[in-house]
A and B are shown apart, each in its own frame.
Chain A
């Protein structure tokens, strides 16, 4: 997994609340057996018309945001299905961090497995960053994971909370499975006890 340390870049504004995983990557693209190549279908039904042409008004179709690495999003981003295709599509497009007031639980966890940082900030701070994002390439937002800060275009520094384990894995690009397998002896021991206590499982 890619490491995440710092990031400075253009942010795309998506103020709509409850952006769900069906919007992020519609189900017709879930038929893949790969993790890659979903970026072109990110937000497909918002981004392209019925004939497959780009809808110019859609934020990621605007010249300023074609290479955006950050999304500033409305409340409860990523709600709905557990599909990891949603963070895969965002990552494949080039998005490395998302900033919102809240996320759906499964989506939030899925991001970290893909080297992507979802940041939670209070509404007032998200509003300031949303305004920055609306300025396109004229307003770059900086993220420092080690320091747990987001710096707005005019230098305001906002601190965010993050679970230390998730931070550690992201900073070092660590593979969860490898880490857990180091605890194989604990799993063996648990299984032995659990089999005695609940043999029907």
Chain B
């Protein structure tokens, strides 16, 4: 029977199947960060259990860590410090792979995993973090789990799972200039809604996906969760193999050849069954921004703030509440919305390609917003950006150049918005209070966020591209 990519990875990892279809699924890589793991390690301690496969477990602090240059002196916030210290103690006590806060390889767990070659095609990857979907860009089955499941994976290297349905999201043709992976993933959520993928694993495919770099593919898969999907996947190809080859934990020599032979079979078969299919034309996708407090509140930058009455069902009240929270009026042009702050970073858009795209926009210019910050996704991304001269471009333009971490994406560290402060962000969630109580978030691509930093308002990147230098 023809299989989807998801079917193939699933079948290769079933340890045991009960009569009712409940499966025990083997986990190849378990990524761990400081926020969702302390209770899990404590559970092991209380029951006298060990980490079954410490060599397949990778820990890195990212959510709480300050991103200011003084962080070597320690974390000021006592609760954040306790959590980061707890991870340090747990990682050492249980003997898992570990990148401490001052290691140059430290960064956001979903950036570190691929960067170090932990994430490989055909693997099952989990983490107590919903954006684990990111690793799907490698053709790995990757999804977020809760803390009880973190403990379960630590103790057993398996998860109790029911198989999800198969959903295909095809982006045909090529993207137009100024349109990026972020615009694809936001546009898909705009089209399907935040529950559109619920119960499904999405495979993204089509020419526009194939044409994306690995960085872009990670951006697309990262937000599969915002569309409600359990995971997002992209079939591995030559770009994937080239990205993986030579990374510290990628297979070498004869093992590389054996791995490559298997990886090349990891694609959906002709005639495989799809429970749901969505197709968007790459040419139709515009640079988009969010206007509300759900990632599904997406519109092309040329649009206007919608009237809540134009929605139906529970969305009418949700949109009314969103506009009230966001301080916006129906009919207002999106490009008239003024921005206070710009945040470039996160597991969605904190990779080198994202920083290159933003730097290209700001090069030689000055920001017009109150503050703007670039938070590289890892210490290695930061080092590379410094080597390429990108850091200096940002600093010259007036951006703060930070150390790696999750930072203002979820504002668990000191990087937060004040009430009413409006932010152009390259992160993944525009929920109420996400970036700080009362903070107002507009999601967009790195190039669009950079453009907003220069004009002080939401801006169509294509207009800037048309302007002669």
Q: What residues make up the interface of A, taking CB atoms closer than 8 Å to B?
A: 15-18, 20, 22-23, 26-28, 30-35, 45, 50, 74-76, 79-84, 87, 102-106, 109-110, 113-114, 163-165, 176-177, 179-181, 183-184, 186-187, 190-191, 194, 198-201
Contact = CB atoms under 8 A, between A and B. Distances in A.
A194 B26 contact: yes
Contact of A163 (B16, B20, B130, B147): B20
Contacts of B314: 15-17, 74-75
A75 B42 CA distance: 34
A82 B36 contact: yes
A164 B146 contact: no
Given A28-B412, A187-B26, A22 B432 contact: yes
Given A45-B433, A82-B145, A104-B195, 14 more contacts: A17-B313, A30-B63, A80-B429, A82-B132, A104-B228, A106-B130, A106-B146, A165-B22, A165-B160, A176-B152, A183-B15, A183-B24, A191-B157, A198-B259
Which 6 pairs across A and B sit closest by C-beta, in order of nearness? A200-B251, A113-B148, A31-B79, A84-B146, A110-B146, A17-B314
B317 A180 contact: no
A79 B432 contact: no
B386 to A, nearest CB: 30
Contact of A180 (B79, B152, B251): B152
Contacts of A87: 146
Interface string B38-54: 11001000010100100
12 contacts: A18-B195, A22-B432, A22-B434, A79-B194, A80-B431, A81-B129, A82-B129, A176-B152, A186-B16, A198-B122, A199-B255, A200-B258
B123 interface: yes
B259 A26 contact: no
Contacts of B410: 22, 27, 81
A23 B259 contact: no
Interface residues of B, number: 80
B280 interface: no
A17 to B, nearest CB: 4
Contacts of A32: 79
A76 B194 contact: yes
Contact of B162 (A76, A81, A163): A163
B39 A35 contact: yes
A31 B16 contact: no
Interface string B132-173: 100000000001111111011001111010100000000000
Q: Which of A33, A82, A105, A194 counts the most B-chain CB atoms under 10 A from its CB?
A: A82
A164 B255 contact: no
B123 A201 contact: yes
Contact of B86 (A33, A83, A181): A33
B198 A165 contact: no
A177 B155 contact: yes
A198 B419 contact: no
B88 to A, nearest CB: 13
